Structure 1
């Protein structure tokens, strides 16, 4: 039986880039591939007609919005506009969908969808990319706004009938913050078909450590030059390539100067996907010093090329769940230059043996930690709630707690 399912998120890859954008587009594609009718509800991000080259239908339910402020913090006004437009769109068609999958980032989306669908038989699934403690909200948005955001998150979680998340960290926090509904913990977010195209490659000479992502406070990119300077005491020809940009880019530039790294640091900004793939394939190690991640897709993307990853331990960093220490990378105890530098040295010294074990890790992960299996669990839950047998091919379901 074919279902009609909506996926709601205020961004759409490739018009905006990031882990969430890629994840929800992949959700829509995977559900459509099972023969279901999928609509993607988002903001206007393109010129001219809506994209029509996907297996799903794209609807701009809100105008073009500036989602982030200069510091990389999501703008409350933009979140309110999208939530209101989502409410109106779902209210008009509250019985047109069998299910709605809504991103809980921003959390106002959950309230909008819950209110619009109240009293209908449409099933609501809220996907939690991350779940933050109060302290994290306050650090991110200030005491007043952060406390309000935390309170709204708790209320949204309490109102969520079916929640999905992508790490044990998020699962624990959802329960701690008051979730009483069904919780689906996905096995992973790998797009197996696209990732299978990646091939292992030899690291470049001279070797380089790579960072790829936004430059915001939580990513702690400015810690990298000092850490690589420490690593260069043992690996004298090691370079650092930093991709991306953002509000902390000036701090990164100052850190490069402080580490006397102008000759061995390459600050390139954003690059296109083909260049990113090449840089990731030939990096000796990919380093992500972020203190918070909801999943950590970059670990998988690097592993597809056999490139090991160095992460930093932290209470909000779920990506460390993807690292088998010494198998596909290392976890530094902190962003102190000595801790992070030592982990980078270990990854470089791992050489070909570490690259082989990293690729082996990926070959296993691509069979078990896929978006396809995550969608299996979501569709099975929808079918069970609607009292019908699942029409899609069943693989191994995600953990259901």
Structure 2
């Protein structure tokens, strides 16, 4: 029997300078599908770090176009290659492959981007982008299967009109956590691992340091990651008078990242929105509780409030939660232990198996049931 051919259309890969948790999820799922006998190809754009077309862990990577033209390439490759199934990773915008194929299309949505549209592109373009994401996409893909990583995003999709029976939840897994040699820091240390972009709101982490420094003079913040917002963040730390205790590490390898997590007291993730937040689980695996905003979506599930971390309702609450964890060592230890146990429950192989079950169900659906409802 010929292996089902699956095309995954994504706007970037893990080698991209802005690659993050979403891309890691896609590639881990793709590897898991390949291990289960699928013929998997990921289409993503070229970029300065791109090695060209490659095959890794049984997955073919086609790199075509750029940040915007990759959307046209996705439709072209769909027409030329005629895959048995297309997985579109909707990071704000769909690829609209549904318009050029009668084969099934699965929509993978990590989270919705209502706030990010405005933050990144301004009011006019942002409203247009949100209109496409919230109105056009649900209509075009009204007969397609959706997959998301959290019940929170599932509920948000349903609120946009997506049929609840067509939304499956396949949570993130967790890579094996490497052994670390760095002991917990003797001084209060916060850590943030993130792309340095506006909607990650790392200013809130810097604010916390500035507001707490008088009571915690040894407090420091490690910021790990890269992005175009770094200069702005460095200037912000200087303006608040905390540049000497806010350390920007830039991009680091996996081992270094885990050493930095292992030595920290508290992990902070003040993003506007997160589909899940893989780094929350990585911090938990080292016994480090996280603080995030309740409104940020998927973190309401990757962080078990009052058990593996704390969820804040506003900036004042965020700072108060950080200080509570700094002040109460017993609470940190308890949450750290619960976090380790929670992290052990997440495995990429189980996530890939769940995703494969979704795909198998879609491929087994009679073609007539996939036809869109007449306009």
| TM-score, structure 2 normalization | 0.86
CA contact (8 A) 1:157 1:178 kept: yes
Structure 1 position 55 matched with structure 2 position 58: yes
Task: Evaluate the alpha carbon distance shift between residue 362 and residue 327 of structure 1 in structure 2; reply closer, same or farther with a 3 A threshold.
Answer: same
Q: Where does residue 312 of structure 1 map in the other structure?
A: 293
Distance 1:202 1:11 in 2: 35
SS at match of 1:293: coil
Structure 1 position 379 matched with structure 2 position 348: no
Q: Give 1:195 deviation, angstroms.
A: 2.7
1:1-400 mapped onto 2 (5 Å cutoff): 2-16=3-17, 17-45=19-47, 46=49, 50-60=53-63, 62-63=64-65, 65=66, 67=67, 78=68, 81-94=69-82, 97-109=83-95, 111=96, 113-118=97-102, 122-133=103-114, 137-153=117-133, 154-160=135-141, 161-180=144-163, 182-191=165-174, 194-197=175-178, 202-314=183-295, 316-336=296-316, 339-351=317-329, 354-355=332-333, 357-367=335-345, 369-387=346-364
Q: Give 1:244 deviation, angstroms.
A: 2.8
SS at match of 2:344: helix
Q: Give 1:106 deviation, angstroms.
A: 4.4
Task: Evaluate the alpha carbon distance shift between residue 379 and residue 100 of structure 1 in structure 2; reply closer, same or farther with a 3 A threshold.
Answer: same
Q: Give 1:313 deviation, angstroms.
A: 3.0
Q: Give 1:29 deviation, angstroms.
A: 0.7
Task: Evaluate the alpha carbon distance shift between residue 349 and residue 183 of structure 1 in structure 2; reply closer, same or farther with a 3 A threshold.
Answer: farther
5+ residue gaps, structure 2: 366-375
| TM-score, structure 1 normalization | 0.81
The number of equivalent residue pairs is 359
CA contact (8 A) 2:168 2:358 kept: no
Give the alignment's Cα RMSD to 1 decimal: 2.6
CA contact (8 A) 1:26 1:371 kept: yes
Task: Evaluate the alpha carbon distance shift between residue 152 and residue 284 of structure 1 in structure 2; reply closer, same or farther with a 3 A threshold.
Answer: same
CA contact (8 A) 1:30 1:375 kept: yes
Q: Give 1:343 deviation, angstroms.
A: 1.2
SS at match of 1:280: helix
CA contact (8 A) 2:7 2:86 kept: yes
Q: Give 1:386 deviation, angstroms.
A: 3.4
The list of structure 1 runs, each at least 4 consecutive aligned residues, that deviate by more than 4 angstroms after superposition, is 46-49, 198-201
Compare 265-274 and 124-133 and name the one that shifted more. 265-274
